Amino acid sequence: MEGGQPGPGASSPQIDSAEVLLHGVFALLDPAPKTSYALSLTRGRELRMQRVGSSPAGRSAALKLADCIGCSAFAGREPELEPAAYFSVFCYPFRKGWWDAAPARQRFARTFRVCVAQEPGDNLKLAETWAGKIRELAAPRIPRQEGVTWGLLSRPYHVLVLLNPQSGTGQALQLFRSLVQPMLVEADVAFTLCVTERPNHARELVRAADLSRWDAVAVLAGDGLLYEVVNGLMERQDWQAAIKKPLCTLPGGSGNALAASINHYAGNTRASKEELLTNCTYFLCKGLHAPMDLVSLSTASGKRLYSFLSFGWGFISDVDIASEKYRQLGNARFTVGTIQQLAGLKVYKGRLSYLPVETSSSVSSAPGSPSEQNSHHVPCSNGHPLHILPQPAPGVPRPPHEGSWPEDSLLVPFDQPVPKHWTVVPEEEFISIFAIYQSHLGADFTMAPTAKLHDGSMHLFFLKAGVSRLGLLKLFLAMEKGTHLDLNCPHLHYVPVRAFRLEPFASTGLMTVDGEPLACEPVQGQVHDQLCRIISGS
Amino acid sequence: MGGSASQLPRDLLGEYQELTFLSKQEILLAHKRFSELLSKEERESILQKRVPKSQILTLPELRANPFRDRICRVFSTSEDGDGSMSFEDFLDMLSVFSDSATSEIKSHYAFRIFDFDDDGTLDRKDLEKLVNCLTGEGDETRLSESEMDQLIQNILEESDIDKDGTINLSEFQHVISRSPDFASSFKIVL
């Protein structure tokens, strides 16, 4: 049958979506045995089921195969007695629950009995024809998007699933067995489950593993585990190829900002806990993957990290870390943590500079030595003199292996001032500085509603000192709906940036990278467009 | 030791060390600070005197605390319910807020402090008062009704385990005590 589809939107007039590709009458095995259905598979990727029975207006339903994750055919248990074969269809369409306002994916499975011939072999062949055709029609269309290359895992594929058993009240393993595994089986996706035993276990594993065994690496836990995987991949000698291995986030109940964001990008309504896990597992069963920006962060002490979600210092980071304990109760929520931090509101002093997205597109990035650009620049002191070394200083360390990491072409070493075209924030007292590269900080936290997986920017928020506790609370509440920018709080600033540098004046508090704590010291970072790939919905 | 007319008898000092989390130095310092809140004549019989709440609240360590009012009321043993504190009430308070007090003691008292209507649970009204204390007095500095509703809804969702619409002591302790920062926000050191 035909391969690739035409552009998004309307199908060409020649294709009749009602055209029937296969037709047959089979008995439904469950839930209602012995009922016969007339099935039609249409080019419009639907499975139409019309009940055959005494009543003239037989019940009919149309299953959209876009929602189908798998279909398999199998022979009967005793072919001598019973020549019938069978095929089972597994779909997860959006349906409204009993009392939920928002629709959620609900399992819809049907098994049909094929008994049109005497020979079991013939029945099986027919069942396999149906199953194969259904699978073919269920395959997702690869989206065509300007500047973005989507991919599709080619079947059959094998996924490495890394699971943190402590994640989210310790239910991750049970969630895998009861929710994720059945879907993977239905979708005929092979998997290897690896339960992590300690922090950094996943990082070490991914660093050393033979990745050719798997087509994708999934993480069932929180963002922290994916952070380990990303950094483990970048620490490999063959990082350039390794980082292109499609990754997948399956929310295990801890901080799952990326999962919430991906859910949002796919156009789904807010989902949390099991619904979110079902949605993400569904994406894994479909196999579509998209490029994702990564941010490389360097610290003055020589650390080099890769981040996919956020970097922060100040109030939001404090709440993030404080809420860690609350998240163990199974709630990825920040309210109690926020109120608690509010009681002891701290001011964080430092210098923040950034390269706005708008500026960077008009200024050509000079590939020559960055020190040339700054030879005329007087280092701003503010009582904090910067010592300039003539040679490129050890501000950007070499990676611990031969292959060199992607160059941070937008950054200059710490002992040089930031490039001329950067913006330096004049105020130096902050309540919170937070750069997020995805849309959500949690299932209930739309921090950057316009963010995308590959928008080439970090969404930098900084809250200057002087905002009252009341103002902070109002911002926090507005953030749940993503309306915080509409409040026009004079202390809150938002700007999309390509790179930034933060120089704290004192080591106050902890910084966070993807929700993980980092010792407080000067940090700078920049976006690396579409460096990795992540399983996603279209 | 200069200044205080009456000193703390040795046996009382020892007793206070036993009964509170405070060290000898901390008790002596508390004694000094408490006597400064009294007039010169009153200092003679410091242990029998009660300092009115308004005086206690002049202490810089309490002045900036959003819950200063409730703190006085909770630790005051005054039968009039006027929040006035004796020296022993004062020591009790400092003991609970000291570095050495256990997290369990702190959370127990925190609960009582937040229980504005003293009915043993934190219900909507208590939580509203709690938030208003945090955000400051005055009508302009309040959350709107819908914002308050949203906030309280969140708090209950995050901490009300038995879903009865209120937070009881064990739910409170379950949530609060796990926080690494809780102890530091419940600290008063003279």
Question: Residue A393: which pLDDT band, with cuts at 50, 70 and 90?
Answer: very low
Residue A181: closest CA among A279, A281, A253, A109: A281
Query: In Å, how far is B136's CA from the nearest CA of chain A?
Result: 8
The token duo for A351 is: 């210098």
Residue A356 CB coordination number (10 Å): 18
What percentage of residues in chain A have a pLDDT greater than 90? 56
Question: Residue A370: which pLDDT band, with cuts at 50, 70 and 90?
Answer: very low
Whether A91 and A77 have beta carbons less than 8 Å apart is answered as no
> Hey, what amino acid is at A297?
L
pLDDT digits (tens, 9 = 90+) for A1-26: 333 333 344 434 455 677 888 888 88
Task: With a cut of 70, say whether residue A63 has pLDDT above it.
Answer: yes
Same structural domain, B40 and B11:
yes
Domain harbouring B9, CATH code: 1.10.238.10
Structural domain includes residue B53: yes
Instruction: Give the chain A residue whose CA is nearest to the CA of B178.
Output: A325
Question: Residue A400: which pLDDT band, with cuts at 50, 70 and 90?
Answer: low
Same structural domain, B143 and B180:
yes
Give the DSSP per-residue string, B28-52.
Answer: HHHHHHHHHTS-TTGGGGGGG-EE-
Same structural domain, B54 and B138:
no
Return the DSSP state at B162.
T
The number of CA neighbours under 13 Å toward the Cβ of A479 is 23
Q: Does A325 contact B178 at a Cβ distance shorter than 8 Å?
A: yes
Structural domain includes residue B190: no
Task: With a cut of 90, say whether residue A363 has pLDDT above it.
Answer: no
pLDDT digits (tens, 9 = 90+) for B51-109: 888 888 888 888 878 888 899 999 999 888 888 899 999 999 999 988 888 888 888 99
Q: Where does a domain end: B38, B63, B96?
A: B96
CA pair distance A22, B155, nearest whole angstrom: 55
Q: Where does a domain end: B96, B129, B161?
A: B96
Same structural domain, B87 and B123:
no
Same structural domain, B15 and B90:
yes
Structural domain includes residue B152: yes
Residue A326: closest CA among B155, B135, B127, B104: B155
When comparing pLDDT for A310 and B173, which is higher?
A310
Residue A174 φ/ψ region, left for φ over 0, alpha for ψ in the -120 to 50 degree band, beta for the rest: alpha
CA pair distance A74, B162, nearest whole angstrom: 47
Whether A68 and A57 have beta carbons less than 8 Å apart is answered as no
Task: With a cut of 60, say whether residue B149 has pLDDT above it.
Answer: yes
Same structural domain, B82 and B109:
no
The token duo for A189 is: 């996706």
CA pair distance A523, A311, nearest whole angstrom: 10
- The residue with tokens 């190829």 is A241
Q: Strand (E) positions, A328-457?
A: 348-356, 423-424, 429-436, 440-442, 445-446
Flag whether residue B145 sits within 8 Å of chain A, measured between CB atoms. no
Structural domain includes residue B165: yes
Q: CA separation (Å) from B161 to A63, A301, A331, B157?
A: 40, 44, 11, 8
Burial class (CB in 10 A: 0-12, 13-18, 19+), A423: middle
Return the DSSP state at A393.
P
Residue A88: closest CA among A124, A106, A112: A112
CA pair distance A181, A284, nearest whole angstrom: 11
| Partner B, chain A 269-298, Cβ-Cβ below 8 Å | none
Mutate to test the interface with B, among A445, A470, A483 (most CBs of B within 10 A): A470
CA pair distance A16, A9, nearest whole angstrom: 15
| Partner B, chain A 42-71, Cβ-Cβ below 8 Å | none
Instruction: Give the chain A residue whose CA is nearest to the CA of B146.
Output: A477
- The residue with tokens 């700007």 is A495
**Largest interatomic CA distance in chain B:** 57
The model carries a pTM of: 0.82
Query: In Å, how far is A476's CA from the nearest CA of chain B?
Result: 9
- Beta strand A190-195 with A158-163: parallel, antiparallel or unpaired? parallel
Same structural domain, B74 and B110:
no
Contacts of B107 in chain A (CB under 8 A): none
- In sequence order, what are the beta bridge partners of A199? none
Q: Where does a domain end: B65, B96, B127?
A: B96
Instruction: Give the chain B residue whose CA is nearest to the CA of A472.
Output: B135
Same structural domain, B53 and B114:
no
Q: Which domain holds residue B52?
A: 4-96
Same structural domain, B90 and B108:
no
Q: How many residues does chain A have?
A: 538
> Among A67, A215, A223, A318, which one carries the catalytic annotation?
A223
Spell out the residues 6+ positions from residue B54 whose beta carbon is closer than 8 angstroms to its own.
none
Same structural domain, B91 and B116:
no
Using only C-alpha atoms, chain A has a radius of gyration, in whole angstroms, of 27
Same structural domain, B13 and B35:
yes
Whether A374 and A419 have beta carbons less than 8 Å apart is answered as yes
The token duo for A466 is: 């002087």
Decide if A210 is catalytic.
no
Q: Identify the weakest region by mean pLDDT among A136-145, A203-212, A301-310, A385-394.
A: A385-394
Flag whether residue A266 sits within 8 Å of chain B, measured between CB atoms. no
Structural domain includes residue B142: yes
Element of type H or E holding A534:
strand A523-535
Selecting from A336, A341, A468 the residue whose C-beta is nearest the C-beta of B136 gives A468
Mutate to test the interface with A, among B181, B182, B184, B187 (most CBs of A within 10 A): B181
- Work out whether the CA dihedral A209, A211, A214, A220 comes out positive or negative: positive
Q: CA separation (Å) from A129 to A21, A86, A121?
A: 11, 11, 12
Whether A270 and A443 have beta carbons less than 8 Å apart is answered as yes
Question: Residue A385: which pLDDT band, with cuts at 50, 70 and 90?
Answer: very low
Structural domains counted in chain B: 2
Query: In Å, how far is A479's CA from the nearest CA of chain B?
Result: 12
Q: Quick one: pLDDT at residue A413? A: 93
Same structural domain, B29 and B108:
no
